[in-house]
Structure 1
Amino acid sequence: MGSPRDSGAGPGTGTGTGSGARVPPGLAGGRAAGYEFRAAADWAEFGAVLDLAYGGYPHSAAHSAVAGAVFEPKRSLVACRGGRVCATLAGYALEMTLPGGPAPVAGIGYVAVAPQHRRRGLMRELVRRALTALHEERAEPVAVLHSTEPGIYGRFGFGPASQVVGVSVPPEARGFAAGPETGGLVSDVGSPVDARAAVAEVYDACLAQRPGLVRRDDAWLRRAFEDRPEERHGAGRLLCMVASGAGGDARGYALYRLRANWERCAPRYALSVREVFARDPAAYAFLWRSLLDTDLAGAVGAAARPVDDPLLALLDDPRSAAPTVRDQLYARAVDLDRALAARTYSAPVEVVMEVRDAMCPWNAGRWRLAGGVDGAVCVRTGAAADLALTARELGAVLLGGGSLVQLGHAGLVTELRPGALRAASAAFRHDPAPFCSVAF
């Protein structure tokens, strides 16, 4: 279940199947029996379920306005019983950078079940219907989501496709070992809304840098700027630092906030970083130097940075930043052939994969993938398999962040032809690592 209150997690995706959708074989009279599944009417239908599912925290009118602006009713699903909505799944049409360039993906968020309706198969059925609709409509070939609890979505064929690192840089570890020359850059701090044009310009310029980044229109940008007082936990309002060149051109920006704290009569404010994006290494280093040198600041932390964030290379003492790695984005192939052909590969690859996929049985069987840096094709084949794996393991490497070799050493991918595992792993990997800054 993805959480609307976790910047690294979001709930549901899917295409609405309509109120007249038939009950799939095996569910009549069993799990999920007695429930009606239909497309969502509007964002307001989600409110009561999310309130109960996430601990009784009602959404404010301001948050509902922001979330409702990006909500897509026709792509979202609800389960009802007795005329009441008791489970939800939100679906989004997104454009995400994959290895090789931007591609359409289906975002899933706000997958939630009211407490009194848990353990009845509703989550599984909502996800199954969403994926089936995407397949039948030949819509987005890849589905992605954030997960509040990492153990949930593997059983639905989603693999951990990206990782993030959390850091907390204490005052004594702010020194940089080296770094690019940042002379000529200046910073300006103010409201993110006032810096909207600069933020949008820089972010769009950075989209091609990493797989996992999602294009943001005005509604998604408002979501990025959301600053609910109840979520500040004693911190001040969200601030935006813009780094500009001598000509006034925006080269980078950072979104952050400060929480007042004093130790032994001295200010040790906690500075929390939400986003940092820059067009070039000099602007990136300049922004981090400026954040670490903020007046009153003690520890400077960020809950979710790319696992290979350049900051870790810039710090003279990265150990003291206590980097902690965790899972972030989850992905799965909706249509395996189209999903693998939607990206490029870091090295030439020709491999036959035997894939098991219980949630999307149309993906099961043997597939021949052939491609490289210019593209790929994936077709069914009767040839002997080189690798055997499940949809979950395939999802873990779909964005270029997972390692087939690691999964093989864990016994999750079976090598059937000597040498196939290492060759395929090198082709699937992407540098830099994938990262998603958008909560959905």
Structure 2
Amino acid sequence: MTTELRALRKEDWNVWYNNLVRAFGGPPEAAEEREVWQALTEYDRSIGAWDDGQCVGTAGAFDFRLTVPGGSVVPAAGVTMVSVAATHRRRGVLTSMMRRQLDDIRSWGQSLAVLTASESVIYGRFGYGVASYRLGVEIDTVRARLSVPPGTDDVRLRYADPAEVLDVCEAVYARRVAERPGMLVRRPGWERVELLDTDRLRDGASPLQCVVAERGGGRGDGSEVVGYVRFRVKSDWGPAGAEGVVMVSVLEALDPAAHAALWRFLYGIDLTAKIVAHRLPVDDPSLHLVSDFRRCGARVKEDLHVRLVDVGAALRARTYQAPVDVVFEVEDSFCPWNEGRWRLVGDAEGASCERTADPAELSLSVRELGAAYLGGTTLTSLAASGRVRELRPGAVAEASLGFHSSGLAPWLPHG
């Protein structure tokens, strides 16, 4: 490979970002979107591949904070904006950028790297494992009825300008972050992404709308915001009448009644026949409110990929729902500092993970550790597929029970 890798300079951002947009094959972004992503770019964490003065590869990393099992928030590098020019495919550009990036992440003292992949087959060879999934639904609101819990009628709903209620909505989001592994603390500037509302994002639908759920006091007087939903409505008509679609961007609620009240509102929007949501947790409680699951068009898609950059530090950062004491033989040819035997001892109070010369009891690659890290994928299922080898009878069951999340399923709230 003859390309040069170097940290991104501010004066090169437009050329660098143009390469990214071209590689993804989409139309040019609106100036508003482009400005937001330029503001969020962390230049010292971004690299470009250059060949004879032309940018032919891009990769970046956001400084994120990720919730892990046990509720702790752990620094993680959010890998982003990865692209290779079509003229330079299969020349080692991507591998060189991934090599440089993981070395950098290690030097920053971050034990985890995370990403969402445009193509899911790409990142396994660099040690990333699929650690969470997302649920998409297309609910036929004409045929699927909704049943709500007691207290739903006590929740007040009102339309609000998305920008005007951003702060209170962000406060609801912040209270939810510790509840689920995989959720991200919203870093400064990221709230702007939530309000992006360009023609491309609307896709023929209405401007972004927001409804907030409140309880206590009167409107704006001593009341508490306990949930919100952002959505668009896409008008459509068929031979029998209105067939509009409610396109849900995000729905957050602090309790079951607020959650149900917001979903009931979405069901009742006039001139619509369908609700579409692309990013829900796989255990989203809305599925228990509908009368006919088959009318929900539910489908699951892989989402957050996790890479343990420092095996010992990463495994120490989370807790384990059941006591575990096991020696792992870890394979990691791309980050050889992780290879070898590690003894993990942990429970619900904390954990230690250190190198050891003791005999290995489980053998796996760092990819499987990444997949199991947030507790949504079990080591038992990975062992059943042959990707984890049991060297001591009972070791898989013990470790799998400890790793598994006893609470809510891991979920990434935004890309």
TM-score calculated relative to the size of structure 2: 0.95
- Secondary structure of 2:153 counterpart: coil
Cα drift, residue 265 of structure 1 = 5.2
Q: Is the 8 A contact 1:47 1:59 kept in 2?
A: no
User: Which residue pairs with 2:409 in the alignment?
Assistant: 433
Distance 2:97 2:143 in 1: 47
RMSD, aligned α-carbons: 1.3
- Secondary structure of 1:192 counterpart: coil
1:197 corresponds to 2:167: yes
User: Which residue pairs with 1:404 in the alignment?
Assistant: 379
- Choose the corresponding residue for 1:117, options 72, 76, 88: 88
Map 1:340-419; keep pairs closer than 5 Å: 340-419=315-394
How far does the alpha carbon of each residue in 1:369-395 deviate from its partner, in whole angstroms, 9 at most, with x for none? Answer: 001111111001111111111111110
User: Which residue pairs with 2:2 in the alignment?
Assistant: 34
- Secondary structure of 1:316 counterpart: coil
AA aligned opposite 1:433? A
Map 1:141-220; keep pairs closer than 5 Å: 141-177=111-147, 179-220=149-190
Map 1:69-80; keep pairs closer than 5 Å: 69-80=39-50
Map 1:238-317; keep pairs closer than 5 Å: 238-247=208-217, 248-264=223-239, 266-317=241-292
Greater Cα offset, 351-360 or 265-274? 265-274
- Secondary structure of 1:274 counterpart: strand
Cα drift, residue 356 of structure 1 = 0.5
Q: Is the 8 A contact 1:332 1:398 kept in 2?
A: no
Q: Is the 8 A contact 1:173 1:321 kept in 2?
A: no
Cα drift, residue 127 of structure 1 = 1.2
Q: Is the 8 A contact 2:319 2:351 kept in 1?
A: yes
Distance 2:349 2:39 in 1: 37
Cα drift, residue 222 of structure 1 = 0.4
Distance 1:94 1:180 in 2: 38
Structure 2 gaps of 5+ residues are 218-222
How far does the alpha carbon of each residue in 1:291-322 deviate from its partner, in whole angstroms, 9 at most, with x for none? Answer: 11112221111112101111112222122102
AA aligned opposite 1:170? D
Cα drift, residue 177 of structure 1 = 4.4
AA aligned opposite 1:432? L
Distance 2:403 2:269 in 1: 40
Q: Is the 8 A contact 1:198 1:242 kept in 2?
A: no
How far does the alpha carbon of each residue in 1:32-85 deviate from its partner, in whole angstroms, 9 at most, with x for none? Answer: x21111111134242221132011522322111111121100011111111221
Cα drift, residue 409 of structure 1 = 0.5
Aligned residues: 406
Distance 1:217 1:76 in 2: 17
Cα drift, residue 191 of structure 1 = 2.7
Greater Cα offset, 128-137 or 143-152? 128-137
Distance 2:353 2:359 in 1: 15
Q: Is the 8 A contact 1:98 1:211 kept in 2?
A: yes
Distance 2:354 2:188 in 1: 38
Distance 1:264 1:313 in 2: 32
Q: Is the 8 A contact 2:148 2:260 kept in 1?
A: no
Identity of aligned residues (%): 39
1:64 corresponds to 2:34: yes
AA aligned opposite 2:203? H
AA aligned opposite 1:215? V
Distance 1:302 1:424 in 2: 35
AA aligned opposite 1:302? A
- Secondary structure of 2:154 counterpart: coil
AA aligned opposite 1:318? F
Greater Cα offset, 358-367 or 45-54? 45-54
